[in-house]
Structure 1
Amino acid sequence: MQKTICITGATSGFGAACAERFAAEGWRLILTGRRADRLRALREALSTVPVHTVELDVRDFKAVETMVRDLPDDFSTIDVLVNNAGLALGLEGAHKTDIQDWDTMIDTNIKGLCYLTRCILPGMVERNQGHIINMGSIAGNYPYPGGNVYGATKAFVKQFSRNLLTDLNHTRVRVTNIEPGLAESEFSIVRFHGDKDKADAVYKGTEPLRPVDIAEIVHWVTSVPPHVNICTVEVMPVCQSCGPLAIHRDV
């Protein structure tokens, strides 16, 4: 039977790579994003499988609710939800940051993820099968200067995923939190508000993770036997590791 996957933030990066990976396996795709032109291009590129695209801002609960309610019959049974839509904005200290950046990260990374989960999860519970995959980050595990609210949102994703598992213990619905480290996509361009030079500097001299690497992991966690749940995947490129605790000394 052909399965259906819903991927948010599908117009670039991890989301687009996941769409391509699951299309290669013949899955039916529900792809959401805010850029209609990219959604059209993606639908055309993946025309070998059924694709339903929705221009969607995950921060809008009513829009999310409407999207799920109005899915065509062929797409209404969602087997896997990939909560991929998210972003980082700015790298300033907490005392300098733009409050609007904080609001946008909280509304997208936390509330948007919750909205999609709340609207799609009841169907999975009713069918007693499904898989929620949340895109976290190592920023939710390890602090770094300027990571203030972004890291906090990803720590939320980690704990929300754990709590979902406890809520769903009586079902066969699976939950996975994927936590990438240094990964090159449009992430840093968005973080630096379109400054490509700043974005490129983040990856200079490194071999970072690529969107296809993350898509391969997303596919893997869905392909293990149904009685197996991969709870968390923390993944870094080999050029990255955890740093020592910082100590400021007055000398």
Structure 2
Amino acid sequence: MQLANKIIVVTGAGSGMGREMTLQLLKKNAKVVGVDIHENALVETQKLAGVGDDCFKGFQLDISNKEKVEALPAAVIAHFGSVDGLINNAGIIQKFIPVNELSYEDIQRVMNVNFYGMVYLTKSFLPHFLTRPEAHIVNISSMGGFIPFPGQTIYGAAKAAVKLFTEGLYAELKETNVKVTVVHPGAIATNITENSGLGKPKGDPATQTKMALPAPKAAALILRAIEKNSYRITVGKDATILDILYRLNPRFATNFIRKMMKKAVGNM
């Protein structure tokens, strides 16, 4: 799908990949509906873009609130007249602790944002998308959605659910005008840890930045996937390599990640 003159909803548009995708979409002459739980972050995104409400409209919204999400399409259509795409990007990670130590409250919060929020938005916009000449849904999973990361087991389970939901949705919509893409990013240089309410990550910031793919590059790859109507993409060398490794030998890959996480979490 060509992005010029399209109206795209981006969740998590106040920071990280969501902000970068928003800025790049606007440069491609698309219009953006920015959704974020932090209203001031949306204001900052719009200031960085240097555009008015005719090109960018921000909506402060907790995507885990089904009733408020269901009211969003009408508000967006009232402002822009129609919608052509949805990028379900907003997400949070869990505390870096085993399942045995994780509270049910924390488990539900991760699932509600990462999985149910994506489902609510998809179901709320899908009826409208089916009336459009063409439309596109992008769901951001994770490399944690296809390979387990100890200490992020619930996060991974939520992202695995996003993966299967998206692939099933693709199959259901294959004969329609709505295209579907699932994205598996690796380590991306964003502030997801802070946005998840976990404070600043410990360890050497320079090392962490060096290992992570810059958010602008990740955003560009995701938007390119929309333009190519890609079924599935991995973003970052780590995600690509681990995808191959896990397919070849799941047990070896799992044990490898376990060792890596044990070293990493000890420095966080």
- Alignment pair present for 1:47 and 2:50: yes
Q: Is the 8 A contact 2:143 2:239 kept in 1?
A: no
Query: CA offsets per residue over residues 128-172 of structure 1, 9 Å max, x none?
Result: 420000011010111121121100111111100111112112202
What residue in structure 2 maps to residue 246 of structure 1?
A: 255
Q: Does 1:212 align with 2:221?
A: no
Distance in 2 (alpha carbons) for counterparts of 1:196 and 1:188: 6
Q: Using a 3 Å threshold, how does the CA distance of structure 1 residues 101 and 75 change in structure 2: closer, same or farther? A: same
Which position in structure 2 is the counterpart of 1:166? 171
Equivalent residues in 2 for 1:119-158, closer than 5 Å: 119-158=124-163
Give the Cα separation in 2 of the matches to 1:245 and 1:82: 29
Look up the match of 1:113: 118
Correspondence 1:14 to 2:2:
no
Partner of 1:27: 30
Matches within 5 A, 1:168-183: 168-183=173-188
1:74 deviation in Å? Answer: 4.8
Corresponding position of 1:60: 65
Contact kept in structure 2, 1:192 and 1:198, CA below 8 Å? no
RMSD: 2.4
Structure having the higher helix fraction is 2
Letter of the 2:88 partner, please give it.
Answer: N
Query: Counterpart of 1:71 in 2: which secondary structure?
Result: helix
Q: Which segment is superposed worse, 95-104 or 237-246?
A: 237-246
Matching residue's letter, 2:182: N
* Matching of residues 95-114 of structure 1 within 5 Å: 95-114=100-119
Q: Is the 8 A contact 1:7 1:15 kept in 2?
A: yes
User: Structure 1's 20 and 72: CA in aligned 2 closer, same or farther, altered over 3 A?
Assistant: same
The code of the aligned residue for 1:92 comes to I
Give the alignment partner of residue 92 of structure 2, picking from 74, 78, 87.
Answer: 87
Cα shift at 1:72: 4.8
Measured in 1, the distance between the counterparts of 2:118 and 2:14 equals 17
Letter matched to residue 5 of structure 2 = Q
SS in 2 for 1:233: strand
The change in CA–CA distance for 1:81 and 1:239 in structure 2 (over 3 A counts) is closer
Stretch of structure 1 that moved more, 133-142 or 181-190: 181-190
Secondary structure of the residue aligned to 2:17 is: helix
233-242 vs 97-106, which deviates more?
233-242
1:12 touches 1:186 (CA, 8 Å); kept in 2? yes
Tell me the CA shift for residue 45 of structure 1: 2.5
- Give 3-state SS (helix, strand or coil) of 2:216's partner: helix
Over the matched positions of the two proteins, sequence identity in percent amounts to 24
Aligned length: 243
Shift of 1:196: 3.6
The answer to whether the Cα contact below 8 Å between 2:184 and 2:234 also exists between their aligned partners in 1 is yes
Shift of 1:24: 0.8
Q: 1:223 aligns with which of 223, 227, 234?
A: 227
Structure 1 unmatched runs, 5+: none
- 2:31 partner amino acid: R
Helix, strand or coil at the partner of 2:59? strand
Cα distance in structure 2, aligned partners of 1:176 and 1:25? 19
Write the distance in 2 (CA, Å) between the matches of 1:240 and 1:167: 26
Q: Which residue matches 2:232?
A: 232
Amino acid at match of 1:123: H
Structure 2 gaps, min length 5: 243-251, 259-268
Distance in 1 of aligned mates of 2:143 and 2:179: 21
Q: Can you list the C-alpha shifts for 1:32-81, whole angstroms capped at 9, x where unaligned? A: 10111111122233233611110000001111111211225452421110
Q: Could you tell me whether the CA contact under 8 Å between 2:91 and 2:113 is conserved in 1?
A: yes
Change in CA separation of 1:245 and 1:51 when aligned onto 2, cut-off 3 Å? closer
**Residue 12 of structure 2 corresponds to residue 3 of structure 1:** no
Whichever residue aligns with residue 80 of structure 2, its letter is F
